[in-house]
Amino acid sequence: MSYQVLARKWRPKRFSELVGQEHVVRALSNALDGGRLHHAFLFTGTRGVGKTTIARIFAKSLNCERGQSSQPCGECRACLDIDAGRFVDLLEIDAASHTGVDDVREMIESAQYTPARGRQKVFLIDEVHMLSKNAFNALLKTLEEPPAHVKFLLATTDPQKLPVTVLSRCLKFNLKRLLPEQIAGQMRHILAAEQIGSDADAIGLLAKGADGSLRDGLSLLDQAIAYGGGSVQVADVRTMLGTIERAQVTRLLDAICANDGNALFAEVTKLAEFGPDFGLVLDDLAGLLHRVQLCQLVPDHVGENLADAQDVARFAQSLAADEVQLYYQLCISGRRDLALAPTPRAGFEMALLRLLAFAPAGEVAGGATPPQAQRANAAGSVGAPAGSRTQSVREEAATPPYGAEATVIAAEILAPARAPLPVALSAASAPAEQAPAPVVAPAVTPAPPVMPEASVVAPVALEPRDWPQLIERAGLRGPLGQLAQHAALLAVDGDVLRLALKPEHENLHSPAMGSQLQEKLSAATGRPLRLNFERARAGVETPAEQIARTRSARQQQAEQDMEQDPFVQAAMREFGARIVPQSVRVDDSAAPGA
């Protein structure tokens, strides 16, 4: 007898054998046992979660020779023929290859005839969203009022493409992606029944690689059995999937935390010998950081039976919470950009170098701050010396030649913003000064650094009305410019600037961005400043809003001038000309402050 793949051999034949779709099974079982059946059912969900399997079991429940119920016998001729795919009253149509209206009309004509053998004639249309518009239109009437002996079972991976007229005529069941634990449990059951040796770590890797699809998981299991020569072992599965050991990921994070570039790239060299999928390595590193953050902030949510529980607890003690967040975001962004890199390894290495280059504000153990020159002295080596990992962003910004640029990039990752608005304010315009709103959770940035003598300028007197000019003087662009433009200066209390942000712009602010803005403003005014961000109350106007208001007024004035122009009026009067809305363009270069 020829070999049958596991996904087909172990396809469920009863509702009780299904994995992870209890909500659908319960609804269908109650409908079958209670005799309250709709005429059209729609099953949606990603690939390999059981859409067509449930539809076939449902058809078997309708036509079992021992009577309609949620538990077909599986032994009668009707059940056996449905399992074998030769039951004449179950018509399966692949809409991906039968998309035309003629195919649907043929099905509709067939629906008018009574079943040849069973009680119900069942039409199973797979990937129904692939039908053409004309095919859907031809199906609608029959779908709404089919003969009493007909049931429609529709399955799709993309319900958004279905017309609402079809959706409204069906009972919809959304099948869930399976959890790795559910897939692993089914794999263990199958391997035990097939008497195939395996180990738990190998099954865990296969279940994770299935990505929520049991069918994909069983296909991977078939591949692993063949690769391992009849057994499923973790070393073989790692090689097959291109994954690495958990300990190797731990060593990567150890080197990053120690800021030891040489040790980090020694690990990268070892990894490269196995030819791994570098995207999966970044996924594993992000997964480790996720577990570390859970251990820090929601310790009760982390199970003690994790294989790397001790390492997770160690990292949770040695890393700050904001540091974990930054590392996680850098891993995710590096994973996303991997396809754009010259080679996968180069993209992977650059992602790790970002983790070395950027760090949230902090101090080394014992409160001693490492000198700024440590990173500069590391030129020519891959990373800075161990122990300088927690050097603050402010210190890196003051380190020539690349510290400030690097921290700006880190800030962009932490606080992505829209494209910057140009500054176009007159010297006389200024934000309306309002009484500050109650502060829910004021975010006070750290104390400003001592300004280097070379960068000190003549001290500048500062008042709230000078805020737009200070933004221009400091040369704030990009994310920093966005933050400043959408903040209103409420008051100047000594060396403390009280800035107000509206709720819709609070995402622009982060500790790193606040530190950068503080340094820029301190350099522009020639005196050390501190920033205190508050929530703006109604009526506060920001420089960005002033710019928008000024532009709108100039646009309206330009349109009025155009309409009143004698030549334009003559053209409109004599030739029927008209002014196209929004076609009048104002020269922004002529605006004050532009």
The b/e string for 172-207 (b: 16+ C-beta within 10 A; e otherwise) is ebebbbbebebbbbbbeebbeeeeeebeebbbbbbb
* Strand segments (E) across 160-235: 171-174
HEC string for 30-81: HHHHHCCCCCEEEEECCCCCCHHHHHHHHHHHHHCCCCCCCCCCCCCHHHHH
Mean pLDDT of 380-399: 38
- Run of H or E including 136: helix 133-144
Between 314 and 100, the more confident residue is 314
Report pLDDT for 302.
63
Under CATH, which architecture does the 246-374+381-414 domain have? Up-down Bundle (1.20)
Put the strands of the sheet holding 40-44 in their side by side order: 90-94, 121-126, 150-156, 40-44, 171-174
**Can you name the CATH fold of 180-241?**
Helicase, Ruva Protein; domain 3 (1.10.8)
Looking at domain 6-174, does it have CATH number 1.10.287.70? no
Helix, strand or coil, per DSSP, at residue 505: helix
Looking at domain 462-545, does it have CATH number 3.30.300.150? yes
Report pLDDT for 379.
34
Please tell me the pTM assigned to this model.
0.53
Q: What is the pLDDT of residues 464-495, one digit of tens each?
A: 888 888 888 888 888 888 888 889 998 888 88
Distance between CA atoms of 534 and 499, rounded to whole angstroms? 6
Residues pairing with 378 in the sheet:
none
Distance between CA atoms of 41 and 28, rounded to whole angstroms? 10
HEC string for 261-309: HHHHHHHHHHHHCCCCCHHHHHHHHHHHHHHHHHHHHCHHHCCCCCCCH
**What are the domain boundaries of the chain?**
6-174, 180-241, 246-374+381-414, 462-545, 546-590
Report pLDDT for 29.
93
Q: Do domains 246-374+381-414 and 462-545 have the same CATH topology?
A: no
- What's the half-sphere exposure (Cβ side, CA atoms, 13 Å) at 276? 23
Distance between CA atoms of 268 and 258, rounded to whole angstroms? 16
DSSP state of 202: H
Report pLDDT for 100.
80
Give the CA distances from residue 412 to residues 7, 261, 415, 446, 511, in Å, rounded to whole numbers and listed in that order: 46, 24, 5, 19, 12
**Would you state the structure tokens that stand for residue 466, as one six-digit string?**
């000078």
Does residue 368 have a pLDDT over 60?
Answer: no
Distance between CA atoms of 191 and 453, rounded to whole angstroms? 72
**Mean pLDDT estimate for the chain:** 80
